[in-house]
Amino acid sequence: MSYISEVPVWKSTYRIVFPDKSSAAAAGPETAILQGWAVVDNTVGSDWNNVQLSLVAGAPQSFIQPLSQPIYTQRPEVPVPEAANIAPVVHEGALEAPLAAPVASSSQTVTVTGANAGLLTEDKIQGKSDRFAGSFAGVGRGSGSGSVGTTDKKWLDEDVRYLVSGAVQDVSNSANSAKFDDFFEYTLAQPVTIHKNESALVPVLQTNVQTERVTLYSASHPVPLRALWLTNSGTLTLDRGSFSIFDNGEFAGEGLTDTIHAGEKRLLSYAVDQAVRVTTEGHLDSTHLHHVTVHDGYLTERNEEIREVTYVVHSAASDARTVLIEHPVQNGWKLNSEIKPVETTASLYRFSVAAQPGETVRLHVGESHTQGVRYQLTDLQDDQLQIILNGSGNRAAIETALAPVLAARAKVHDLDTQIDAKQADIDRLAEDQKRLHDNLAGLKDSPEERALARRYAGEMNADEDQLQSLKKDQADLEQQRKTAQQALDDAIRKLDLDQDV
């Protein structure tokens, strides 16, 4: 007989311990001890006595739905704005970077150290220590719901303090790990006891990992951060959660990490780097015409847009720093920089800059983007054509190729101007005839008015003669324009140009 009972998700929390040596002496990859725990809560209302505990991590779809309850539309709740604070950042994993091959070793077995190795329940870890505050603040996910849980318990006493000092004793076969589908689990070899309404800190992992200390700068988080480039060189998957850094026995900072798979390399930031300052200079955006094509009556120009920026890194640290600069990836743009990124994520390039003590280093990043603009030659305005010609480095060759089309366009344009002028004269005479007609309609049959009517009639006859002449001229011009338009169409049809400029 078995059953399933809802329990809170278990949370992962890690500690990364560096050997007892000065952080200033660290250069390049280092080996650190990675210790992992699971925070397990018993809220089912009964004791767990000598239970076999398995901790499963993954992201299954799971939900509850109150089908028997009435459903009302709820208005959104808009939070009150608060002042911004620097919060831990989970950094993107790389898309283009060599992955470390998983290496199996005896250090991948779950280990518990110290005289009281095993289950650490809440009643055993009530001793407070400001020095290590926050080292067990956990965020993670467990089996079933895949939701996120948090704990604000900040514990540490002599039962676990030895883990910081580096006194490590292995207890083999305490637990084993398995992977199935897209999930993985830690199964403790020995039964555990957790009384109702108590929490336990269960050790699930201890292994050596390769790390590299760096300073991380990103335009989206302009405050430089101390970070670790951690390589999971084992075969176990590290669940998401919180982590704490201890260097030379001292608390150095904490942060959050996403799931790290075997062989994956991830950035973990944990503190502000107050000795490094990064600014930008030399912002330059420019556009250059580099190719013109004319075919089937359409002119296509290809322009190259260029963006340039220089990052200025100044280090006031007493030791050498490796600074990672995150530059955003723009869709459709390619890098033109001589220095290539050491890592590329879905949205970021990461460039590495080495800064010696007191040194200022500059990193130039250039990008280019090619776009095409298409014009119909018959609709191309003179000012647009002048822009194309002025932006060309080979203007003479383009003007020579376009000469028949330009001459035909000028002829059509000149005829259009003359036709418009004739039409303006026709409109003026038509308006004048309407005025005279209206004046005649208002005259009475008197000697003076009959004389005025004769004068108006004479003017209308003269206007009519002139109107007929203008209409004849306009018809001639329209015929000439038709011929000129045909010549322009022929010139455009014959033109075939493919020219680098």
Amino acid 158: pLDDT: 33
Compare 443 and 418 and report the one with higher pLDDT.
418
What are the angstrom distances between the C-alpha of 239 and each of 56, 95, 140, 256, 260?
Answer: 10, 20, 7, 11, 7
pLDDT tens digits, residue range 33-89? 999 999 999 988 889 999 988 888 877 777 788 888 887 887 888 887 765 566 777
Q: Per-residue pLDDT averaged across 449-457, rounded?
A: 71
Sign (positive or negative) of CA dihedral 109, 112, 114, 117:
negative
CB-neighbour burial class of residue 11 (10 A; exposed 0-12, middle 13-18, buried 19+) = buried
pLDDT tens digits, residue range 126-169? 333 333 333 333 333 333 333 333 333 333 333 333 333 333 33
Amino acid 88: pLDDT: 79
Residue 365: is its pLDDT beyond 90?
yes
Give the sheet arrangement for strand 175-180, strand by strand. Answer: 54-57, 183-188, 175-180
Strand partners, 360: 314
Cα 112 from Cα 205, distance rounded (Å)? 8
Q: Per-residue pLDDT averaged across 84-97, rounded?
A: 72
Cα 184 from Cα 162, distance rounded (Å)? 29
Amino acid 320: pLDDT: 92
Residue 349: is its pLDDT beyond 90?
yes
Q: Do the Cβ atoms of 159 and 120 come closer than 8 Å?
A: yes
Amino acid 445: pLDDT: 65
Q: Do the Cβ atoms of 498 and 392 come closer than 8 Å?
A: no
Q: Which of 112-116, 169-173, 189-193, 386-390 has the lowest mean pLDDT?
A: 112-116
Amino acid 285: pLDDT: 83
Q: Per-residue pLDDT averaged across 176-190, rounded?
A: 74
Q: Report the Cα 26 to chain-centroid distance in Å.
A: 32
Residue 354: is its pLDDT beyond 80?
yes
pLDDT tens digits, residue range 266-278? 999 999 999 999 9
Q: What is the mean pLDDT of the chain?
A: 75
Amino acid 121: pLDDT: 35
Cα 405 from Cα 408, distance rounded (Å)? 5
User: CA-based angle 209:211:214, to the nearest 5?
Assistant: 165
Residue 96: is its pLDDT beyond 80?
no
Q: Which of 19-23, 247-251, 377-381 has the lowest mean pLDDT?
A: 19-23
Q: Per-residue pLDDT averaged across 409-430, rounded?
A: 86
Compare 424 and 443 and report the one with higher pLDDT.
424
Q: What is the DSSP string of 46-75?
A: S-EEEE--EEEE---------TTS---PPP
Q: Do the Cβ atoms of 26 and 213 come closer than 8 Å?
A: yes
Q: What residues have CB less than 8 Å from 78, skipping those under 6 apart? A: none
Longest dimension (CA), the chain: 138
CB-CB neighbours of 484 under 10 Å: 19
Residue 390: pLDDT band (50, 70, 90) is low
How big is the chain by its Cα radius of gyration, in Å? 40
Residue 471: pLDDT band (50, 70, 90) is confident
* DSSP run (H or E) holding 395: helix 395-441
